[in-house]
Structure 1
Amino acid sequence: MKYERIKGTNDIFGEEIIYWNFVERKAAQTSKLFGYREIRTPIFESTELFTRSVGEETDIVQKEMYTFNDKGGRSLTLRPEGTAPTIRAFIENSMINDGLPQRFYYIGPMFRYERPQAGRLRQFHQFGIELIGSAEPLADVEVIQLAKSFLDSLGLNSYKIYVNSIGCPKCRVQYKNALKEYYSEHYGEICEDCKKRFQSNIMRLLDCKKDVEIAQKAPKTVEYLCDECKQHYEKFKHILKSLNIAFEEDGNLVRGLDYYTRTVFEIKHSLLGAQSAILAGGRYDGLCKELGGTDLPALGFAAGIERLVLAIRSEQLQIPHDSYCDVYVIPLNEQAVIKAFEISDSLRKREINVITDVNLRPIKVQLKHANRLNAITAIIIGDEELLKNTVQIKDLLDQTQSEVEFEYAVDYVSDILRNKKLKN
């Protein structure tokens, strides 16, 4: 029987994995430059963690979560997002004792049951950051600055930052009333999902992908901000402008999860069509308390790695390719195997990527395979070399070959590789 991957999942390998390695490496590097430490949380959590944090009425909870009962009868869910697990880990492990603010980043798979399309799969991957313990607009700016630095490090140009403030629970009451009054006049025009949300979570109507025109004409959140939220938002924007970080205000921008407050933002890539959001986030000041911890302000973002790879490809950016195989070592008989493994080990201790042939195939076959792997040099060891305690070193780019004493072979190969890389 032939098995195939599950719909909505992907095998990532070959040329594609080079892009993924590049994105993940830049994500980790940028995070560390800003003082963020890596955190790894379990792939599945208690279902209640997500229903309490993400929101009972969100599409994620109602339609998209992979939820199951384990053998102990507990309801578990494959994580659909990374913020709630990070906050749970922060609370459970008493990380508040390490001082505030705390900064974390994560990279890993998430799971949502939705219609698979370009850049959006049922198992998808995110790079995210969380900053816990600062209510200041300065923290909002830092998160935006980190996001921009990360995207710039990838070489991306065709993106734009959109920001908004959705206020706090105090000022949101008046806004929700205005929203309800507006949508009452359009109730007959909205989709069935929005009619349900009208009663349970009115702000979710702004995030509807069907009733876009109606949402665009709805009252704006910034018109109903309390003085404190307004001052926070204005200071946030002022600092961004002072730092020459370009952005646009989008009064219709809300996030699809219930825990967001005040600042929200989204970064879109102009070449990706309908699925243009490559990074998004905002504040979630009430989430720590909601999940049983101390009442702490917090914020963060998540970026979809699949979409980032699509964005890099859409701009036709040239990314550095890690060398898969610098040296291919060819033992021509069983007696040469020990020498082959010895020299391979010595090269690897110099952080040189080496593949040693383990099939004892004819030399023509092995050289052909070395070229297929884009090896720079080949080391050949046969009967004659064993007798003279030498090796044959073949430059696969220049097609030149030299006989070198075994004890000098590692230095000789190291020099070849260093010169090649200097030329490039």
Structure 2
Amino acid sequence: MSKASTFSAPKGVPDYVPAQSAEFVAVRDGLTRAARLAGYGHIELPIFEDTGLFARGVGESTDVVSKEMYTFADRGDRSVTLRPEGTAGVMRAVIEHGLDRGQLPVKLSYAGPFFRYERPQAGRYRQLQQVGVEAIGVDDPALDAEVIAIADAGFRSLGLDGFRLEITSLGDGTCRPQYRELLQQFLFGLPLDEETRRRAEINPLRVLDDKRPDVKAMTADAPLMLDHLSDSAKAHFDEVLSHLDALGVPYVVNPRMVRGLDYYTKTTFEFVHDGLGAQSGIGGGGRYDGLMEQLGGQALSGIGFGLGVDRTILALAAEGKTAGNPARCEVYGVPMGDAAKAALVPVAHRLRAAGIRVDLAYGGRGVKGAMKAADKSGAVVALVLGERELEAGEIVIKDLRNGEQQTVPLADVVARVGEVVAGG
């Protein structure tokens, strides 16, 4: 590291720089576009919130709240936390701005960084990037299927196809209490360590999510929620699956699935990609019927997901695929001399106004160096302007894909460049 550069990014916090950042943008925007096509409006959330929002909304027994949150006191001695996930913040905003008192369901999408203090791994960072949606206010199995189908369509729009959707039901208020008691009876009969036993007392489902081999072995024969659903919860789940079948969204029912957040009920799902090894999840979500009331709002249901941008990029790489175009521009201007540069600057401005990405060789660079820069920029067209062309009111358009070039009047440059860029 040079003396002038004494700082580096925090551990587990990635930078996204060209040309790799083009793929990050393409993946984020591709996942978001699938939500926009289904009528989800954008919501921009605060990066930090009152710590109590996450403690109450996410669940104090979760690893997120108990171990992973970035929590600190601000200058007013208020406890605030960098957002570890998006749903609780969306629900707070919906309640605060009265969106739940308008047309239902409230359909929102968001994208951005979230923060969890955990051991950094490939595609699993302390500042993680997610795209999410929430549909709030209607308990309809068809809406559950729509949310899942949006995620599926987002992944496929990027060319990803080696993933699978795993889905289950975590029951409702009529069957979860009985199941909780049944599961606790089973767990309390096991030789659990003190911390795990305490977790079983607070939220026994979380013990089924324990990744330690010894705990997984002990809980292999644990009773499963899917076998103890109420009639209404089972009917709801069956209808969700029926809608997914109608939409052509493939799935695998996984009765042992437990999501890492406490607020999930009924439909719960995860997208996994085996090309990523042990950390195979690329996104997931579920229904959270009691969350809004728990945060001080109406007793409205909701369903949503969070998809990992970084994880999706890794999944694409595992399939030998990429997304996005790393080219900085489509057209690169090569002026030969100050007079030519003065003439090319407004030409570039006109091309940009026409929606064409343009860059110029600045700093008095020679023709050879400028043409190398044109190649590195990813441009498909070079505009070459010298004294001779300037005197004749012309400019050279060179197609960098095949080496063909043509000389055209400066007045026609926008139309002709547009044709060449488009392959005409």
Check whether the contact 2:224–2:255 (CA below 8 A) recurs between aligned residues: yes
Check whether the contact 1:119–1:307 (CA below 8 A) recurs between aligned residues: yes
Deviations 1:244-275 (A, max 9, x none): 43222222112111111111111111211101
Quick check: 287-296 or 11-20, which moved more?
A: 11-20
Q: How far off its partner does 1:402 sit?
A: 3.5
The alpha-carbon distance between structure 1 residues 80 and 416, as it changes in their structure 2 partners (threshold 3 A), is same
Do structure 1's residue 223 and structure 2's residue 236 form an aligned pair? no
Match of 1:200 among 193, 199, 202: 202
Structure 1 match to 2:116:
112
Structure 1 match to 2:386:
382
Structure 2 match to 1:297:
301
Deviations 1:66-123 (A, max 9, x none): 0111111111100000000111111111112331011111111000000000121100
Structure 2 match to 1:332:
336
SS at match of 1:321: coil
Matches of 2:266 and 2:93, distance apart in 1: 24
Check whether the contact 1:164–1:249 (CA below 8 A) recurs between aligned residues: yes
The alpha-carbon distance between structure 1 residues 329 and 161, as it changes in their structure 2 partners (threshold 3 A), is same
Deviations 1:299-321 (A, max 9, x none): 11111111111111111125452
Structure 2 match to 1:22:
26
Q: How far off its partner does 1:228 sit?
A: 2.0
Structure 1 match to 2:35:
31
The alpha-carbon distance between structure 1 residues 27 and 182, as it changes in their structure 2 partners (threshold 3 A), is same
Do structure 1's residue 254 and structure 2's residue 254 form an aligned pair? no
Do structure 1's residue 209 and structure 2's residue 211 form an aligned pair? yes
Deviations 1:212-265 (A, max 9, x none): 222332100122222222221222223333444322222211211111111111
Check whether the contact 1:110–1:123 (CA below 8 A) recurs between aligned residues: yes
Check whether the contact 1:263–1:283 (CA below 8 A) recurs between aligned residues: yes
Quick check: 151-160 or 60-69, which moved more?
A: 151-160
Check whether the contact 2:57–2:88 (CA below 8 A) recurs between aligned residues: yes
Check whether the contact 2:31–2:154 (CA below 8 A) recurs between aligned residues: yes
Do structure 1's residue 67 and structure 2's residue 71 form an aligned pair? yes
Q: Which runs of 5+ in 2 are unaligned?
A: none
One-letter amino acid of the counterpart of residue 198, structure 2 = K
Structure-2-length-normalised TM-score: 0.94
Q: Which runs of 5+ in 1 are unaligned?
A: none
Check whether the contact 2:327–2:377 (CA below 8 A) recurs between aligned residues: no
One-letter amino acid of the counterpart of residue 255, structure 2 = G
SS at match of 1:169: coil
Do structure 1's residue 98 and structure 2's residue 98 form an aligned pair? no
SS at match of 2:175: helix
Quick check: 327-336 or 277-286, which moved more?
A: 327-336
Aligned residues: 418
Which structure's relative contact order is higher, taking Cα pairs within 8 Å and 6+ residues apart? Answer: 2
Do structure 1's residue 174 and structure 2's residue 188 form an aligned pair? no
Matches of 1:403 and 1:271, distance apart in 2: 51
Check whether the contact 2:23–2:322 (CA below 8 A) recurs between aligned residues: no
One-letter amino acid of the counterpart of residue 201, structure 2 = Q
SS at match of 2:272: strand
The alpha-carbon distance between structure 1 residues 96 and 4, as it changes in their structure 2 partners (threshold 3 A), is same
Check whether the contact 2:20–2:326 (CA below 8 A) recurs between aligned residues: no
Match of 2:136 among 132, 136, 152: 132
SS at match of 1:232: helix
Match of 1:317 among 315, 321, 335: 321
Matches of 1:334 and 1:216, distance apart in 2: 76
Structure 1 match to 2:366:
362
Quick check: 214-223 or 272-281, which moved more?
A: 214-223
Matches of 2:396 and 2:415, distance apart in 1: 14
Check whether the contact 1:162–1:267 (CA below 8 A) recurs between aligned residues: yes
SS at match of 2:77: coil
Quick check: 65-74 or 138-147, which moved more?
A: 138-147
Q: How far off its partner does 1:192 sit?
A: 4.7
Quick check: 67-76 or 155-164, which moved more?
A: 155-164
The alpha-carbon distance between structure 1 residues 392 and 151, as it changes in their structure 2 partners (threshold 3 A), is closer
Match of 2:148 among 144, 147, 154: 144
Matches of 2:9 and 2:397, distance apart in 1: 43
Check whether the contact 1:130–1:301 (CA below 8 A) recurs between aligned residues: yes
The alpha-carbon distance between structure 1 residues 323 and 351, as it changes in their structure 2 partners (threshold 3 A), is farther
Output the aligned Cα RMSD.
Answer: 1.8
Structure-1-length-normalised TM-score: 0.94
Check whether the contact 1:36–1:105 (CA below 8 A) recurs between aligned residues: yes
Structure 2 match to 1:57:
61
SS at match of 2:423: helix
Do structure 1's residue 8 and structure 2's residue 7 form an aligned pair? no
